[in-house]
A = this chain, B = another copy of it.
Amino acid sequence: MGKEDLGTDRKRERYESIIKAAGELFTRKGFHETKMEEIAELAGIGKGTVYEYFRSKKELFFDVIKYCTSNFLDDFKSAAAKGKGYRERLDNALSVLVRYFRESSSFFKLMIKDHRHIDEKLYEWLVDVKRTTAKIVQDILEEGMKAGELKPVTPVIPALMLLESCHLVLFSELFPEDGYDPESIKMTVIDIVLNGIRVTSSPE
Protein backbone atom coordinates (compact mmCIF):
# COMPACT_ATOMS: atom_id res chain seq x y z
CA MET A 1 0.00 0.00 0.00
CA GLY A 2 2.45 2.53 1.30
CA LYS A 3 5.03 2.48 -1.43
CA GLU A 4 2.70 2.30 -4.34
CA ASP A 5 0.58 5.13 -3.04
CA LEU A 6 3.69 7.14 -2.47
CA GLY A 7 4.66 6.59 -6.04
CA THR A 8 1.26 7.64 -7.25
CA ASP A 9 1.18 10.62 -4.95
CA ARG A 10 4.59 11.64 -6.13
CA LYS A 11 3.44 11.54 -9.73
CA ARG A 12 0.25 13.43 -8.99
CA GLU A 13 2.27 16.01 -7.13
CA ARG A 14 4.70 16.48 -9.99
CA TYR A 15 1.85 16.64 -12.46
CA GLU A 16 0.20 19.41 -10.51
CA SER A 17 3.40 21.30 -9.96
CA ILE A 18 4.00 21.34 -13.70
CA ILE A 19 0.42 22.38 -14.42
CA LYS A 20 0.77 25.20 -11.94
CA ALA A 21 4.13 26.41 -13.18
CA ALA A 22 2.93 26.25 -16.75
CA GLY A 23 -0.32 28.02 -15.90
CA GLU A 24 1.53 30.75 -14.11
CA LEU A 25 3.81 31.39 -17.07
CA PHE A 26 1.25 30.92 -19.82
CA THR A 27 -0.97 33.39 -18.01
CA ARG A 28 1.75 35.94 -17.61
CA LYS A 29 3.45 35.65 -20.96
CA GLY A 30 1.22 33.74 -23.33
CA PHE A 31 1.80 30.51 -25.15
CA HIS A 32 4.66 31.39 -27.44
CA GLU A 33 6.58 33.58 -25.05
CA THR A 34 6.71 30.78 -22.50
CA LYS A 35 9.59 28.32 -23.01
CA MET A 36 9.44 24.73 -21.90
CA GLU A 37 12.70 25.19 -20.06
CA GLU A 38 11.24 28.03 -18.00
CA ILE A 39 8.30 25.89 -17.03
CA ALA A 40 10.64 23.12 -15.93
CA GLU A 41 12.76 25.55 -13.99
CA LEU A 42 9.78 27.07 -12.22
CA ALA A 43 8.51 23.61 -11.40
CA GLY A 44 11.95 22.81 -10.05
CA ILE A 45 12.58 19.89 -12.38
CA GLY A 46 14.57 19.05 -15.49
CA LYS A 47 13.49 19.93 -18.99
CA GLY A 48 13.05 16.34 -20.02
CA THR A 49 10.82 15.55 -17.09
CA VAL A 50 8.06 17.76 -18.41
CA TYR A 51 7.86 15.48 -21.40
CA GLU A 52 7.36 12.49 -19.10
CA TYR A 53 4.07 14.02 -18.11
CA PHE A 54 2.96 15.85 -21.23
CA ARG A 55 3.57 14.77 -24.77
CA SER A 56 4.15 18.27 -26.13
CA LYS A 57 3.91 21.93 -25.32
CA LYS A 58 0.53 22.15 -26.99
CA GLU A 59 -0.82 19.27 -24.96
CA LEU A 60 0.50 20.86 -21.79
CA PHE A 61 -1.21 24.11 -22.71
CA PHE A 62 -4.44 22.29 -23.40
CA ASP A 63 -4.21 20.42 -20.13
CA VAL A 64 -3.57 23.60 -18.19
CA ILE A 65 -6.72 25.10 -19.68
CA LYS A 66 -8.71 21.97 -18.98
CA TYR A 67 -7.44 21.71 -15.44
CA CYS A 68 -8.28 25.29 -14.59
CA THR A 69 -11.60 25.48 -16.34
CA SER A 70 -12.70 22.19 -14.83
CA ASN A 71 -11.96 23.46 -11.38
CA PHE A 72 -13.76 26.65 -12.21
CA LEU A 73 -16.82 24.93 -13.57
CA ASP A 74 -17.09 22.76 -10.48
CA ASP A 75 -16.93 25.77 -8.19
CA PHE A 76 -19.23 27.77 -10.39
CA LYS A 77 -21.86 25.05 -10.46
CA SER A 78 -21.73 24.52 -6.71
CA ALA A 79 -22.05 28.21 -6.05
CA ALA A 80 -24.93 28.55 -8.49
CA ALA A 81 -26.77 25.79 -6.64
CA LYS A 82 -26.32 27.25 -3.15
CA GLY A 83 -28.52 30.03 -1.82
CA LYS A 84 -32.22 30.62 -1.36
CA GLY A 85 -33.49 32.91 -4.05
CA TYR A 86 -32.30 33.34 -7.64
CA ARG A 87 -30.68 36.61 -6.66
CA GLU A 88 -28.54 34.99 -4.03
CA ARG A 89 -27.57 32.17 -6.35
CA LEU A 90 -26.60 34.61 -9.07
CA ASP A 91 -24.57 36.50 -6.54
CA ASN A 92 -22.76 33.38 -5.40
CA ALA A 93 -22.00 32.22 -8.90
CA LEU A 94 -20.59 35.53 -10.06
CA SER A 95 -18.54 35.78 -6.89
CA VAL A 96 -16.77 32.63 -8.01
CA LEU A 97 -16.23 34.06 -11.46
CA VAL A 98 -14.79 37.26 -10.07
CA ARG A 99 -12.58 35.37 -7.70
CA TYR A 100 -11.18 33.25 -10.52
CA PHE A 101 -10.60 36.35 -12.58
CA ARG A 102 -8.66 37.99 -9.83
CA GLU A 103 -6.69 35.25 -8.19
CA SER A 104 -3.32 35.27 -9.79
CA SER A 105 -2.91 31.66 -8.82
CA SER A 106 -5.79 30.87 -11.08
CA PHE A 107 -5.02 30.93 -14.77
CA PHE A 108 -8.42 32.02 -15.74
CA LYS A 109 -7.40 34.96 -17.81
CA LEU A 110 -6.28 32.50 -20.41
CA MET A 111 -9.89 31.76 -21.09
CA ILE A 112 -10.70 35.16 -22.44
CA LYS A 113 -8.16 35.00 -25.20
CA ASP A 114 -8.81 33.59 -28.61
CA HIS A 115 -6.72 30.42 -28.94
CA ARG A 116 -8.27 29.20 -32.12
CA HIS A 117 -5.01 29.52 -33.98
CA ILE A 118 -3.22 27.33 -31.48
CA ASP A 119 -5.58 24.42 -31.60
CA GLU A 120 -9.07 23.98 -32.95
CA LYS A 121 -10.04 21.48 -30.28
CA LEU A 122 -8.93 23.82 -27.56
CA TYR A 123 -11.11 26.49 -29.08
CA GLU A 124 -14.09 24.18 -29.02
CA TRP A 125 -13.43 23.24 -25.44
CA LEU A 126 -13.46 26.88 -24.45
CA VAL A 127 -16.65 27.59 -26.37
CA ASP A 128 -18.16 24.69 -24.47
CA VAL A 129 -17.07 26.11 -21.16
CA LYS A 130 -18.61 29.42 -22.11
CA ARG A 131 -21.80 27.76 -23.21
CA THR A 132 -22.07 25.80 -19.97
CA THR A 133 -21.38 28.87 -17.86
CA ALA A 134 -23.93 30.91 -19.78
CA LYS A 135 -26.52 28.18 -19.43
CA ILE A 136 -26.19 28.21 -15.68
CA VAL A 137 -26.75 31.95 -15.52
CA GLN A 138 -29.66 31.70 -17.93
CA ASP A 139 -31.30 29.08 -15.73
CA ILE A 140 -30.99 31.37 -12.74
CA LEU A 141 -32.54 34.24 -14.65
CA GLU A 142 -35.40 32.07 -15.85
CA GLU A 143 -36.08 31.21 -12.25
CA GLY A 144 -36.56 34.90 -11.58
CA MET A 145 -38.86 35.14 -14.56
CA LYS A 146 -40.97 32.28 -13.34
CA ALA A 147 -41.17 33.98 -9.99
CA GLY A 148 -42.62 36.95 -11.81
CA GLU A 149 -39.83 39.26 -10.74
CA LEU A 150 -38.08 39.53 -14.08
CA LYS A 151 -39.57 40.22 -17.48
CA PRO A 152 -39.92 37.08 -19.57
CA VAL A 153 -37.28 38.04 -22.12
CA THR A 154 -34.84 35.73 -23.86
CA PRO A 155 -32.29 35.23 -21.11
CA VAL A 156 -29.26 34.65 -23.27
CA ILE A 157 -28.34 38.31 -23.68
CA PRO A 158 -28.59 39.38 -20.05
CA ALA A 159 -26.78 36.19 -19.04
CA LEU A 160 -23.85 36.91 -21.32
CA MET A 161 -23.88 40.56 -20.32
CA LEU A 162 -23.42 39.56 -16.71
CA LEU A 163 -20.55 37.27 -17.56
CA GLU A 164 -18.81 39.73 -19.83
CA SER A 165 -19.28 42.56 -17.41
CA CYS A 166 -17.41 40.67 -14.75
CA HIS A 167 -14.29 41.31 -16.80
CA LEU A 168 -14.48 44.81 -15.36
CA VAL A 169 -12.74 43.59 -12.25
CA LEU A 170 -9.63 43.12 -14.34
CA PHE A 171 -9.59 46.75 -15.46
CA SER A 172 -8.35 48.38 -12.32
CA GLU A 173 -6.50 50.94 -14.42
CA LEU A 174 -9.77 52.34 -15.68
CA PHE A 175 -11.25 53.06 -12.31
CA PRO A 176 -10.53 56.06 -10.15
CA GLU A 177 -8.26 55.15 -7.29
CA ASP A 178 -11.05 54.99 -4.75
CA GLY A 179 -13.75 53.57 -6.95
CA TYR A 180 -12.20 50.18 -7.44
CA ASP A 181 -13.61 47.45 -5.27
CA PRO A 182 -14.25 44.22 -7.14
CA GLU A 183 -17.01 43.03 -4.89
CA SER A 184 -19.02 46.21 -5.18
CA ILE A 185 -18.38 46.35 -8.92
CA LYS A 186 -19.90 42.91 -9.17
CA MET A 187 -22.90 43.99 -7.12
CA THR A 188 -23.45 47.06 -9.24
CA VAL A 189 -23.28 45.01 -12.41
CA ILE A 190 -25.88 42.60 -11.09
CA ASP A 191 -28.06 45.45 -9.93
CA ILE A 192 -28.00 47.18 -13.27
CA VAL A 193 -28.74 44.10 -15.32
CA LEU A 194 -31.47 42.79 -13.03
CA ASN A 195 -32.95 46.22 -12.74
CA GLY A 196 -32.85 46.49 -16.49
CA ILE A 197 -35.08 43.49 -16.90
CA ARG A 198 -37.14 43.81 -13.75
CA VAL A 199 -40.91 43.83 -13.97
CA THR A 200 -41.88 47.45 -13.51
CA SER A 201 -44.54 47.87 -10.91
CA SER A 202 -47.45 47.77 -13.27
CA PRO A 203 -47.96 50.96 -15.18
CA GLU A 204 -51.50 51.84 -14.81
Q: Are A189 and B157 in contact (CB under 8 A)?
A: yes
Copies of this protein, total: 4
A168-B157 in contact given A33-B117, A194-B196, A196-B196 (Cβ < 8 Å): yes
Q: Does A164 sit at the interface, judged by CB under 8 A?
A: yes
Chain B residues whose CB sits within 8 angstroms of the CB of A203 once the complex forms = 201, 204
Chain B residues whose CB sits within 8 angstroms of the CB of A31 once the complex forms = 32
Smallest CB-CB A-B distances: 9 pairs: A196-B196, A192-B196, A32-B32, A195-B196, A29-B117, A164-B164, A161-B165, A30-B117, A33-B117
Q: List 30 A-B contacts (CB under 8 A).
A: A30-B117, A32-B32, A33-B117, A109-B114, A112-B114, A130-B174, A134-B174, A153-B188, A154-B179, A156-B175, A156-B176, A157-B185, A158-B192, A160-B165, A160-B168, A161-B161, A161-B192, A161-B193, A164-B164, A164-B165, A164-B168, A191-B196, A192-B193, A192-B196, A193-B196, A195-B195, A195-B197, A200-B200, A201-B203, A203-B204
